[in-house]
Amino acid sequence: MAFLVVGVLLLALWLGDVGPFGQLDWWWVALPFGLAVLWWEFADSSGWTKRRAMDKMEQRKVQRREQQMEALGLKVAGKRRDRQVTAHTEAKARQVSADPTHAGREAAPKVVAQSEIEQRRDPRL
């Protein structure tokens, strides 16, 4: 693309007879266009343009998927997600502290002695 832009600018300056560009030979003006054709041939034959197009499509697909997940509420980005988690845990804590049925319960699990575990085991296993 850069070769094409340089070629168009050089052609405009050559046709307008601006400064030293008006005295250039025609092949100097045609050279950027020829280089652009060679570059496009190389890029197409090497698969460079195809890979680049596929990468761009993949990037758009990932971006679209992220937007859809966020719209569904399944994925929330960055600090917003952290705020939601914090708000949820605080709301849950307020709910538990306001519930009279949770007042006397212990949060820690019951510790089971090793002998109790051995007694529960089925000897056939």
CA angle (115 as vertex; 112, 119 as ends), nearest 5: 100
Asked whether residue 112 is assigned to any structural domain, the reply reads: no
User: Is position 125 within any domain?
Assistant: no
Instruction: Count the domains in the chain.
Output: 2
In a domain, 100, yes or no: no
Whole-number Å distance between alpha carbons of 95 and 89: 10
pTM over 0.85: no
Domain that holds residue 30: 1-46
Whether 25 and 62 share a structural domain: no
41 shares its domain with 53: no
Closest listed residue to residue 3, CA positions, set 21, 29, 22: 29
Evaluated on CA atoms 77, 82, 83, 87, the torsion sign reads positive
Are 15 and 40 within one domain?
yes
Residue 12 covered by a domain: yes
Same domain, 65 and 29: no
pLDDT tens digits for 96-120?
A: 776 666 555 555 555 556 566 556 6
Q: Tell me the H-state helices in the chain.
A: 2-15, 26-46, 48-72, 78-98, 114-120
In a domain, 77, yes or no: yes
Closest CA to 9 of 18, 40, 39: 18
Do residues 42 and 73 share a domain?
Answer: no
pLDDT band, residue 19 (cuts 50/70/90): confident
Mean predicted confidence (pLDDT) in 74-97: 73
**What is the per-residue pLDDT for 47?**
87
Rounded-to-integer distance, Cα 70 and Cα 64, Å: 10
The yes-or-no verdict on residue 15 having pLDDT over 80 is: yes
